[in-house]
A and B are shown apart, each in its own frame.
Chain A
């Protein structure tokens, strides 16, 4: 049983560019959440998708947007990249609230 898979694993972008990160949830899971983890800090919640809709959002600007597809996979898009967007981006999937969320290995984004 494949767990949560994310692609790509590493990415280098230039300031001002746009980036799309992808996530496939664990089999049977219908909810996908995205987190940003800066170096030396804990992960910070960006948003969560359920039934192809954004269900909850953290304190991130509108430059961060997402999408969930009918097969429950998800994308995270970041526009107008800033140097401060350099981080590990984590995707987590779950089946419902108050159940454990399973995390992928993350995408390491470097903005230069």
Chain B
């Protein structure tokens, strides 16, 4: 599986957009980019995934660069409940390989 690199932590103001970067320079053509988040003491929650095209759902948008070597998860209007660890995962086979993730703190 391709390795991902994320910032260790970041802060965001409530009501503003949160842009979470992820580098995956060794990604292969058939590997998907997945994003999950984990709120303290809960199981990980699926956010979004994509292969080549940008994706949007009710939670977030996923922007994947044309060369697919990096991506950005966008939370359009962050709330205090979005405080969590966010994991960017490159997935080829059946398993999800979690790294350390980015600890996002949304401040009032």
| Residues of A in contact with B (beta carbons under 8 Å apart) | 4, 31, 33, 35, 41-45, 48, 55-56, 58, 90, 92, 97-98, 100-106
Complex contact A98–B32 (CB within 8 A): yes
| Cβ-defined contact, A105 with B43, below 8 A | yes
Given A33-B94, A90-B44, 8 additional A-B pairs, CB 8 A: A33-B95, A43-B98, A44-B98, A48-B95, A56-B93, A100-B46, A103-B45, A106-B43
Most buried by B among A35, A41, A98, A104: A98
Cα-based distance from A56 to B91 in the complex (angstroms): 14
Q: How large is the interface on B (under 10, 10 to 19, 20 to 34, 35 or more residues)?
A: 20 to 34
Given A41-B100, A42-B87, A42-B100, is A58 in contact with B95 using a C-beta cutoff of 8 Å? Answer: yes
Contact of B44 (CB < 8 Å), options: A55, A97, A103: A103
- A4 to B44 alpha-carbon distance, docked (Å): 12
* Inter-chain contact B99/A104, CB cutoff 8 Å: no
Using Cβ atoms and an 8 Å threshold, which residues of chain B touch A42? Answer: 85, 87, 98-101
Interchain residue pairs with CB less than 8 A apart (30)? A31-B94, A33-B95, A33-B96, A35-B96, A35-B98, A42-B85, A42-B87, A43-B98, A44-B98, A45-B97, A48-B95, A56-B93, A58-B95, A90-B43, A90-B44, A92-B43, A92-B44, A92-B96, A97-B93, A100-B46, A100-B49, A101-B96, A102-B46, A103-B43, A103-B44, A103-B45, A104-B43, A105-B42, A105-B43, A106-B43
Complex formed: what's the CA distance from A101 to B85 in Å? Answer: 17
Q: B41-58: which residues lie under 8 A (CB-CB) from chain A?
A: 42-46, 49
User: In whole angstroms, what is the CA distance A43 to B91 when docked?
Assistant: 14
Interface centre among B87, B96, B100, B101 (most CB of A within 10 A): B96
Q: Which residues of B contact A98 (CB under 8 A)?
A: 32, 49, 91
Please give me the residue from chain A that is nearest to B32 by CB atom: A98
Report the nearest B residue to A102, measured CB to CB.
Answer: B46
The one of A4, A45, A104, A106 that contacts B95, using a Cβ cutoff of 8 Å: A45
- What is the chain B residue whose CB lies nearest that of A94? B94
